[in-house]
Structure 1
Amino acid sequence: MIMEDEFIVALDLSDMTHDLGFDVVGPYATVAEGREAIARHRPDAAILDVQLADGEVFPLADLLIQLDVPIIFHSGHADTTSLLARYPAARSANKPCTSELIASYLVQATSHQF
Protein backbone atom coordinates (compact mmCIF):
# COMPACT_ATOMS: atom_id res chain seq x y z
CA MET A 1 0.00 0.00 0.00
CA ILE A 2 1.28 3.45 -0.89
CA MET A 3 -0.01 6.55 0.89
CA GLU A 4 1.38 9.65 -0.83
CA ASP A 5 -0.32 12.89 -1.89
CA GLU A 6 2.46 14.21 -4.16
CA PHE A 7 1.70 12.81 -7.62
CA ILE A 8 5.28 12.44 -8.93
CA VAL A 9 6.52 10.87 -5.69
CA ALA A 10 3.53 8.51 -5.66
CA LEU A 11 4.20 7.48 -9.25
CA ASP A 12 7.88 6.86 -8.53
CA LEU A 13 7.08 4.75 -5.45
CA SER A 14 4.46 2.79 -7.39
CA ASP A 15 6.84 2.05 -10.25
CA MET A 16 9.66 1.03 -7.90
CA THR A 17 7.37 -1.21 -5.85
CA HIS A 18 5.94 -2.85 -8.95
CA ASP A 19 9.45 -3.37 -10.39
CA LEU A 20 10.37 -5.26 -7.19
CA GLY A 21 7.59 -7.72 -7.92
CA PHE A 22 4.99 -6.45 -5.47
CA ASP A 23 1.34 -5.85 -6.26
CA VAL A 24 0.73 -2.15 -5.69
CA VAL A 25 -2.30 -0.95 -3.77
CA GLY A 26 -2.80 2.76 -4.29
CA PRO A 27 -1.34 5.26 -4.26
CA TYR A 28 -3.84 6.99 -2.04
CA ALA A 29 -3.63 10.67 -1.14
CA THR A 30 -5.88 10.70 1.95
CA VAL A 31 -6.30 8.81 5.19
CA ALA A 32 -9.95 8.26 4.26
CA GLU A 33 -8.98 6.53 1.00
CA GLY A 34 -6.48 4.39 2.89
CA ARG A 35 -9.09 3.27 5.42
CA GLU A 36 -11.44 2.28 2.61
CA ALA A 37 -8.67 0.32 0.87
CA ILE A 38 -7.73 -1.54 4.06
CA ALA A 39 -11.38 -2.43 4.64
CA ARG A 40 -11.35 -4.14 1.23
CA HIS A 41 -7.93 -5.83 1.51
CA ARG A 42 -5.21 -6.06 4.16
CA PRO A 43 -1.91 -4.97 2.54
CA ASP A 44 1.33 -6.90 2.99
CA ALA A 45 3.21 -3.66 3.77
CA ALA A 46 2.66 0.09 3.62
CA ILE A 47 4.76 3.06 2.55
CA LEU A 48 3.36 6.11 4.31
CA ASP A 49 3.90 9.81 3.85
CA VAL A 50 3.22 11.50 7.19
CA GLN A 51 1.36 14.54 5.86
CA LEU A 52 -1.46 13.61 3.50
CA ALA A 53 -4.09 15.72 1.79
CA ASP A 54 -6.57 15.29 4.67
CA GLY A 55 -4.13 15.37 7.59
CA GLU A 56 -1.51 13.26 9.30
CA VAL A 57 -1.29 9.55 8.58
CA PHE A 58 -1.05 8.44 12.22
CA PRO A 59 -4.63 7.10 12.58
CA LEU A 60 -4.00 4.92 9.54
CA ALA A 61 -0.56 3.87 10.82
CA ASP A 62 -2.17 2.85 14.13
CA LEU A 63 -4.71 0.72 12.24
CA LEU A 64 -1.97 -0.91 10.15
CA ILE A 65 0.05 -1.73 13.28
CA GLN A 66 -3.05 -3.32 14.85
CA LEU A 67 -3.34 -5.47 11.71
CA ASP A 68 0.37 -6.39 11.95
CA VAL A 69 1.19 -4.71 8.64
CA PRO A 70 4.83 -3.56 8.34
CA ILE A 71 5.08 0.19 7.74
CA ILE A 72 7.73 2.36 6.16
CA PHE A 73 7.47 6.09 6.71
CA HIS A 74 8.64 8.18 3.76
CA SER A 75 8.30 11.81 4.68
CA GLY A 76 9.93 15.18 4.73
CA HIS A 77 7.64 16.34 7.55
CA ALA A 78 8.56 14.06 10.40
CA ASP A 79 11.28 13.41 12.90
CA THR A 80 12.63 9.88 12.56
CA THR A 81 13.38 9.58 16.27
CA SER A 82 9.79 10.48 17.18
CA LEU A 83 8.34 8.15 14.54
CA LEU A 84 10.40 5.19 15.69
CA ALA A 85 9.61 5.91 19.34
CA ARG A 86 5.89 5.73 18.52
CA TYR A 87 6.25 2.86 16.00
CA PRO A 88 9.35 0.84 17.02
CA ALA A 89 8.83 -1.85 14.38
CA ALA A 90 8.58 0.69 11.55
CA ARG A 91 11.27 1.91 9.24
CA SER A 92 11.72 5.55 8.34
CA ALA A 93 13.28 7.31 5.37
CA ASN A 94 13.38 11.08 5.14
CA LYS A 95 12.60 12.74 1.81
CA PRO A 96 14.52 13.00 -0.33
CA CYS A 97 16.06 9.54 -0.26
CA THR A 98 17.06 6.99 -2.82
CA SER A 99 14.60 4.48 -4.16
CA GLU A 100 17.18 1.85 -3.22
CA LEU A 101 16.71 2.69 0.47
CA ILE A 102 12.93 2.36 0.24
CA ALA A 103 13.33 -0.86 -1.76
CA SER A 104 15.66 -2.36 0.84
CA TYR A 105 13.24 -1.44 3.65
CA LEU A 106 10.34 -2.96 1.73
CA VAL A 107 12.21 -6.19 1.08
CA GLN A 108 13.32 -6.39 4.73
CA ALA A 109 9.79 -5.68 5.97
CA THR A 110 8.22 -8.40 3.89
CA SER A 111 11.11 -10.86 3.52
CA HIS A 112 10.26 -10.68 -0.20
CA GLN A 113 12.73 -12.48 -2.41
CA PHE A 114 13.45 -11.38 -5.97
Structure 2
Amino acid sequence: MATQIETRPQSVLVVEDQFIIALDISETVRDLGHEVEGPYANRDHAFIAIDQKMPDVAILDVMTADGEVFPLADALTKAGVPIIFHSGHITPEDIAERYPDAMAASKPCPPADLIDMINKACSRAN
Protein backbone atom coordinates (compact mmCIF):
# COMPACT_ATOMS: atom_id res chain seq x y z
CA MET A 1 0.00 0.00 0.00
CA ALA A 2 1.25 3.48 -0.88
CA THR A 3 2.18 5.84 1.93
CA GLN A 4 0.94 9.41 1.67
CA ILE A 5 2.69 12.35 3.28
CA GLU A 6 0.77 15.27 4.76
CA THR A 7 -0.29 17.33 1.74
CA ARG A 8 -3.51 18.50 0.19
CA PRO A 9 -4.75 16.43 -2.76
CA GLN A 10 -3.04 17.44 -6.00
CA SER A 11 -3.98 17.02 -9.64
CA VAL A 12 -1.32 14.85 -11.28
CA LEU A 13 -0.98 14.75 -15.06
CA VAL A 14 0.12 11.32 -16.30
CA VAL A 15 1.55 11.03 -19.83
CA GLU A 16 2.52 7.44 -20.64
CA ASP A 17 1.92 5.50 -23.86
CA GLN A 18 2.37 1.99 -22.39
CA PHE A 19 -1.10 1.01 -21.20
CA ILE A 20 -0.15 -1.19 -18.22
CA ILE A 21 2.43 1.31 -16.94
CA ALA A 22 -0.08 4.17 -17.32
CA LEU A 23 -2.64 2.23 -15.27
CA ASP A 24 -0.06 1.37 -12.61
CA ILE A 25 1.10 4.98 -12.23
CA SER A 26 -2.48 6.25 -12.18
CA GLU A 27 -3.44 3.76 -9.46
CA THR A 28 -0.40 4.75 -7.39
CA VAL A 29 -1.36 8.43 -7.68
CA ARG A 30 -4.94 7.65 -6.60
CA ASP A 31 -3.71 5.47 -3.70
CA LEU A 32 -1.76 8.50 -2.46
CA GLY A 33 -5.01 10.50 -2.41
CA HIS A 34 -4.43 12.61 -5.51
CA GLU A 35 -6.49 13.19 -8.64
CA VAL A 36 -5.24 11.77 -11.96
CA GLU A 37 -5.39 13.89 -15.10
CA GLY A 38 -5.25 11.35 -17.92
CA PRO A 39 -3.43 9.14 -18.48
CA TYR A 40 -2.60 10.41 -21.94
CA ALA A 41 -0.72 8.30 -24.49
CA ASN A 42 0.47 11.31 -26.46
CA ARG A 43 1.59 14.84 -25.79
CA ASP A 44 -0.97 16.50 -28.09
CA HIS A 45 -3.86 15.26 -25.93
CA ALA A 46 -1.93 16.32 -22.82
CA PHE A 47 -1.48 19.81 -24.33
CA ILE A 48 -5.26 20.05 -24.75
CA ALA A 49 -5.70 19.00 -21.11
CA ILE A 50 -3.25 21.56 -19.70
CA ASP A 51 -4.84 24.25 -21.84
CA GLN A 52 -8.10 23.54 -19.99
CA LYS A 53 -6.59 23.04 -16.52
CA MET A 54 -2.96 23.22 -15.47
CA PRO A 55 -2.04 20.29 -13.18
CA ASP A 56 -0.22 20.64 -9.88
CA VAL A 57 2.32 17.92 -10.79
CA ALA A 58 3.21 15.95 -13.94
CA ILE A 59 4.60 12.45 -14.50
CA LEU A 60 5.91 12.20 -18.04
CA ASP A 61 7.32 9.44 -20.20
CA VAL A 62 9.91 10.92 -22.57
CA MET A 63 8.79 9.03 -25.69
CA THR A 64 5.04 9.22 -26.26
CA ALA A 65 2.88 7.85 -29.06
CA ASP A 66 3.41 11.10 -31.01
CA GLY A 67 7.08 11.80 -30.23
CA GLU A 68 9.20 13.31 -27.49
CA VAL A 69 7.44 14.96 -24.57
CA PHE A 70 9.89 17.86 -24.27
CA PRO A 71 7.61 20.57 -25.76
CA LEU A 72 5.01 19.66 -23.13
CA ALA A 73 7.68 19.57 -20.41
CA ASP A 74 8.84 23.04 -21.47
CA ALA A 75 5.28 24.41 -21.12
CA LEU A 76 4.84 22.76 -17.71
CA THR A 77 8.21 24.05 -16.51
CA LYS A 78 7.33 27.57 -17.62
CA ALA A 79 4.09 27.28 -15.59
CA GLY A 80 6.04 26.14 -12.51
CA VAL A 81 4.64 22.59 -12.45
CA PRO A 82 6.93 20.05 -10.73
CA ILE A 83 7.80 17.25 -13.18
CA ILE A 84 8.76 13.63 -12.73
CA PHE A 85 10.19 12.02 -15.87
CA HIS A 86 9.61 8.26 -15.95
CA SER A 87 11.42 6.82 -18.93
CA GLY A 88 13.48 4.02 -20.35
CA HIS A 89 14.79 6.25 -23.15
CA ILE A 90 16.92 8.79 -21.30
CA THR A 91 18.99 8.75 -18.12
CA PRO A 92 18.20 10.80 -15.03
CA GLU A 93 21.53 12.59 -15.59
CA ASP A 94 20.47 13.68 -19.09
CA ILE A 95 17.15 14.94 -17.70
CA ALA A 96 18.98 16.90 -14.99
CA GLU A 97 21.01 18.74 -17.64
CA ARG A 98 17.87 19.94 -19.46
CA TYR A 99 15.47 20.22 -16.49
CA PRO A 100 17.51 20.78 -13.33
CA ASP A 101 14.42 21.13 -11.09
CA ALA A 102 12.76 17.95 -12.37
CA MET A 103 13.03 14.49 -10.90
CA ALA A 104 13.72 11.46 -13.08
CA ALA A 105 13.33 7.72 -12.76
CA SER A 106 14.56 5.11 -15.20
CA LYS A 107 12.13 2.35 -16.17
CA PRO A 108 11.65 0.02 -14.48
CA CYS A 109 11.45 2.10 -11.33
CA PRO A 110 10.86 0.50 -7.93
CA PRO A 111 7.37 1.52 -6.73
CA ALA A 112 8.74 2.95 -3.47
CA ASP A 113 11.06 5.28 -5.43
CA LEU A 114 8.21 6.55 -7.61
CA ILE A 115 6.01 7.06 -4.53
CA ASP A 116 8.79 9.06 -2.89
CA MET A 117 9.12 11.25 -6.01
CA ILE A 118 5.35 11.81 -6.19
CA ASN A 119 5.27 12.81 -2.54
CA LYS A 120 8.19 15.23 -3.01
CA ALA A 121 6.68 16.77 -6.15
CA CYS A 122 3.28 17.18 -4.46
CA SER A 123 4.86 18.85 -1.43
CA ARG A 124 6.66 21.27 -3.77
CA ALA A 125 3.34 22.07 -5.45
CA ASN A 126 1.70 23.12 -2.17
TM-score bracket, normalised by the shorter chain, equals over 0.9
User: Residue 68 of structure 2: which of 41, 45, 56 is its match?
Assistant: 56
- Which residue matches 1:104? 116
SS in 2 for 1:63: helix
User: Residue 7 of structure 1: which of 7, 19, 36 is its match?
Assistant: 19
**Aligned partners of 1:25 and 1:90: how far apart in 2?**
19
1:1-114 to 2 correspondence within 5 Å? 1-111=13-123
SS in 2 for 1:93: strand
Deviation at 1:99? Answer: 1.6
- 1:50-107, CA deviations, whole angstroms, 9 ceiling, x for partnerless residues? 0000000000000000000000000000122111111000000000011211111111
- 1:21-69, CA deviations, whole angstroms, 9 ceiling, x for partnerless residues? 0000000011100100000111010000000000000000000000000
Deviation at 1:110? Answer: 1.5
Question: How many residues are paired up?
Answer: 112
Cα root mean square deviation, aligned: 0.9
**Aligned partners of 1:28 and 1:100: how far apart in 2?**
23
Q: Could you list the runs of 4 or more consecutive aligned residues of structure 1 that deviate by over 6 angstroms after TM superposition? A: none
Deviation at 1:2? Answer: 0.2
SS in 1 for 2:90: coil
What amino acid does structure 1 have at the position aligned with 2:53? Answer: H
Structure 2, unmatched stretches of 5+, are 1-12
Q: What is the TM-score normalised by the length of structure 2?
A: 0.87
